[in-house]
């Protein structure tokens, strides 16, 4: 699988969108009505997702308290919501067959969802997501049913792609990641450490 996108947790979505636009990025909300996320797309490679909410708070607390694999998987969401704003997680992306192989590799132990989102261009995007029960692990997604990335696009600040994503993982998680992604973008680091996104113009996001 390939590095699909990186989660940037935002305490206030509108404020985060304004901030990234001031940094020279073109940002679009995930949906026209009551959006919970916004996207910084690139023509090639991974993109950034500014995310301000996962599940409604009461449902999230209930789900994360369940002593099941899916309950443990949702604990990553509570850690995002309780933590500071910033980079939080990596998603690996692939085709349907690759996705099914990953789910099988993890023994289907985790949370599987199949959302549909209508974006601000009216495109209905179908996809599947798998969150492993270990919240330290990256999560996995199929490709969108339609590719929402712009063609031959350069952001106002000059960035055209994410060149490198550095993600710290424990020794056990690094072993479980073996062979899952070799796209040359994702660089697994030894934990502890900070996640970093490095753009093709040399600028960084930490």
DSSP 195: -
pTM more than 0.85 = yes
Q: What is the pLDDT of residues 22-48, one digit of tens each?
A: 999 999 999 999 999 999 999 999 999
Burial class (CB in 10 A: 0-12, 13-18, 19+), 97: exposed
List of domains in the chain: 2-160 (3.10.180.10)
pLDDT class of 55 with cuts at 50, 70, 90 = confident
Residue 61 pLDDT exceeds 90:
no
Q: What is the pLDDT of residues 77-119, one digit of tens each?
A: 999 988 899 999 999 999 999 999 999 999 999 999 999 999 9
């Amino acid at each position: 699988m390939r590095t699909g996108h990186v989660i940037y947790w935002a305490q206030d979505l509108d404020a985060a969108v304004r901030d990234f636009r001031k940094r020279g990025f073109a940002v679009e909300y995930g949906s026209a009505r009551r959006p919970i996320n916004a996207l910084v797309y690139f023509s090639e490679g991974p993109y950034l997702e500014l995310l301000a909410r996962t599940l409604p708070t009461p449902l999230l607390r209930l789900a994360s308290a369940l002593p099941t694999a899916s309950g443990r998987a949702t604990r990553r969401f509570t850690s995002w919501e309780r933590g500071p704003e910033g980079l939080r997680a990596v998603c690996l992306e692939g085709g349907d067959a690759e996705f099914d192989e990953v789910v099988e590799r993890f023994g289907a132990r985790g949370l599987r969802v199949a959302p549909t989102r209508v974006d601000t261009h009216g495109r209905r995007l179908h996809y599947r997501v798998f969150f492993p029960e270990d919240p330290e692990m990256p999560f996995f997604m199929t490709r969108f049913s339609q590719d929402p990335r712009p063609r031959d696009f350069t952001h106002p600040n000059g960035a055209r792609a994410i060149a490198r994503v550095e993600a710290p993982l424990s020794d056990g998680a690094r072993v479980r990641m073996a062979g899952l992604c070799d796209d040359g973008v994702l660089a697994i680091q030894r934990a502890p450490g900070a996640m970093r996104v490095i753009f093709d113009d040399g600028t960084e996001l930490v």
